[in-house]
Chains A and B, each alone.
Chain A
Amino acid sequence: MLSQHLPILLVVVPLLAAPIIVLLRRSFPSWLVATLASIATLAIALPLLARAVSEGVISYAIGNWPPPLGIEYRVDAANAFVAFIVSLIGVFVMPYCRRGVSSEVRAEEHYLFYAMMMLCLSGLLGILLTGDAFNLFVFLEISSLATYVLIAMGRDRRALVASYQYLLMGTIGATLYVIGIGLLYLQTGTLNLADLAVRLPAMGDPRATLAALAFITVGISLKIALFPLHLWLPNAYAYSPSAVSAFLAATATKVSIYVLMRYFFTIFGETVVFDARYTGVILLALSLAAMFIPAVVAIFQTDVKRLLAYSSVSQIGYITLGISLHSVGGLTAAVAHLFNHALTKGGMFLVLGGVVFRLGGSALDRMAGLGRTMPIASFAFVIGGLSLIGIPGTAGFVSKWYLVTAAMAEGQWWLAGAVMLSSLLAVIYVWRFVEVAYFREPPAGHPPAGEAPLSLLLPALAMIVACVWFGLDASWSGNMARAAAEALAGGWK
């Protein structure tokens, strides 16, 4: 029965696509294999999500070695939903790569680019599905190493430095995580996450658990780019090829957020993480700082890609704010924003990629009069911007609504005000684009650039349309987010 093996297929399909692409070497067949593989992952992720929602936890023993001795893949509504998001973004980004990559990556490196995309996708899906703490680390490194290479493929030489810096920070983060799970292993003698979730509460709350919690939290927060550990992110997103920026902004940090939620709620449990100490308060303070400080920095950026990158750090603050409330409502808001922000920011980076394709750069000054020369792209970008702000009718509004309701349910009225205020900052940085694109004359002397080719525009528009769609009808995404939140909070029983 093939359907029984869905969890492992989701990881293996892109993993196998990578070496096949390296063997093919030619640009077009590599792209075709990568696109087919990403469509296949979505085709696997959808039934998996449906099964996880209807049946609860699906356990898959790798190589038929029963857990906890063998490595287990453990799928529930939470990780199946994030896996669905990742593979959905993959399906949007891969068709875009054909044209987008041709202008941004050297022709002889195309096949390597696609191979790295597949490894990155496979690593991210592996992180999500695995039920083994050390296996998670290995997948974390697979996706990270592929990410460093992808970032370094940017045209600008600063991409190399950005990639190097991310490599240092990312490796430190991953190593801290390994120290954390090492301490857990020494205490409990198991690396199986479900087994850990059973054995840890039985140990009470010794100092070693506290140390493990600290190491894992800081290590994963580096990967999340939680303020103030976000320093690698702006350069990494700004100088990598557009398709990579879109893919990473929509998936990489989100997957790490899932890992943090899994450790907080399922493995350590709320009593150890939140009730016994001030994790919630610290996370709340950092989330608020993330909502405001990077948003202010975004306002002063002269490059639109960097502006979006800082905006990403700020939006991550909303997601961690949802986590810090440690209620099902807060988690629902966090997961919903994870989905909505992935669509919004991914779509905006793709639209921007099309603009860069025509203009040759992403400096804000170059976009003068863009509303006239590239009306469709500008309009789509503004719609994405409205979703970042959280205007009703866009996906961003839905998750902010969940967030504000969850904060109020906890009696934290002032948080609603904080969310509103930081949204006003988003209005300012989105307005900077609007002002340049719609209220300035196109530069004289240059022939008007015209819209980006359809192969770039269509995937970007599809994501922006999805962002409006899930803003108007949030019932499906809302239900999924709630199911995911309940699965996270309810544990693996």
Chain B
Amino acid sequence: MTFAGHYAYFVTILLLMVGLFIVIARSNLIKKLIGLGLFQTAVYLLYISPGKLIGGVAPIVGEGFEVYSNPLPHVLILTAIVVGVATLALGLALVVRIKEAYGSIEEEEILGLDADDELKSRDRS
């Protein structure tokens, strides 16, 4: 139960919180996606670090090796990375479309433009 023994978990929590904070606090849509990326990446660490045993080797049965690292978390995270990349790509594509449609990637400006539209359409009717 030492700090050094749980070092990876502390880093994970720190990265998770930093990522989530960026998503909530930043108005810029790209910066939000960067925060989201951090948030997702931190989870990879949560999976991978317990998979490694000190002195453990690749799980191939052989003479003289008795401690093996668990390969499953790596495989899971490989899948999660693919999902993360797809999410980020889609998010960036949406930001491009939003920039084309609104001329801005600042959330406050976009919501302001929407509010203006709402007022105009109400005046017309």
Contact = CB atoms under 8 A, between A and B. Distances in A.
Partners in one complex: yes
A161 B98 contact: yes
B22 to A, nearest CB: 11
A69 B83 CA distance: 23
Contacts of A163: 94
Contact of A168 (B23, B43, B121, B125): B23
Interface stretch (A31-39, A144-152, A393-401, A476-484): A144-152
Size range of the chain A interface in the assembly: 20 to 34
A172 B101 contact: no
For the complex of A and B, 8 pairs with smallest distance between CB atoms: A157-B101, A141-B83, A164-B94, A160-B98, A160-B97, A182-B46, A171-B87, A182-B47
B121 to A, nearest CB: 8
B125 A365 contact: yes
Interface string A452-464: 0000000000000
Contacts of B101: 157, 160
A186 interface: yes
B79 A134 contact: yes
A134 B75 CA distance: 11
Given A158-B114, A365-B125, A172 B39 contact: yes
A149 B83 contact: no
Contact of B114 (A149, A161, A164): A161
B75 to A, nearest CB: 9
Contacts of B80: 137, 178
A167 interface: yes
A145 B50 contact: no
Contacts of B91: 164, 167-168
30 contacts: A134-B79, A137-B80, A137-B83, A138-B83, A141-B83, A141-B86, A141-B87, A145-B87, A149-B90, A152-B97, A160-B94, A161-B111, A164-B29, A164-B94, A164-B98, A167-B87, A168-B32, A168-B36, A171-B36, A171-B87, A172-B23, A172-B39, A175-B40, A175-B43, A178-B80, A179-B16, A182-B47, A186-B50, A363-B121, A365-B125
Interface in B88-108: 90-91, 94-95, 97-98, 101-102
A345 B88 CA distance: 32
A175 B95 CA distance: 21
Given A145-B86, A152-B97, A171-B36, A363 B125 contact: yes
Contact of A164 (B20, B50, B83, B95): B95
Contacts of B18: none
Contacts of A152: 94, 97
Given A160-B94, A172-B23, A182-B46, A138 B79 contact: yes
A182 B43 contact: yes
Contact of A172 (B20, B83, B111): B20
Interface string B16-36: 100010010000010010001
Chain B interface helix/strand/loop/mixed: helix
A323 B125 CA distance: 44
Contacts of A141: 83, 86-87
Chain A interface helix/strand/loop/mixed: helix
A327 B80 CA distance: 36
Contacts of B94: 148, 152, 160, 163-164, 167
A179 B76 CA distance: 12
Interface string A160-192: 110110011001100100110010011000010
A231 to B, nearest CB: 12
Contacts of B98: 157, 160-161, 164
B9 to A, nearest CB: 10
Contact of B110 (A161, A167, A168): A161
A137 B86 CA distance: 14
A172 B86 CA distance: 14
Given A138-B83, A161-B111, A178-B43, 16 more contacts: A137-B80, A137-B83, A145-B86, A148-B94, A160-B98, A164-B94, A167-B91, A168-B32, A171-B40, A172-B39, A175-B40, A185-B47, A185-B73, A186-B50, A302-B122, A363-B121
A247 B94 CA distance: 22
Contact of B43 (A158, A164, A179, A365): A179
A185 B98 CA distance: 39
A182 B9 CA distance: 12
Contact of A134 (B16, B32, B76, B87): B76
A161 to B, nearest CB: 6
Contacts of B90: 145, 148-149, 167
Nearest to A179: B43
Nearest to A366: B125
A145 B83 CA distance: 9
Nearest to B37: A171
Contacts of A167: 87, 90-91, 94
A220 to B, nearest CB: 16
Nearest to B35: A168
Contacts of A365: 125
A179 B39 CA distance: 11
B74 to A, nearest CB: 13
Interface string A358-372: 000001010000000
A178 B121 CA distance: 43
Interface in B46-82: 46-47, 50, 73, 76, 79-80
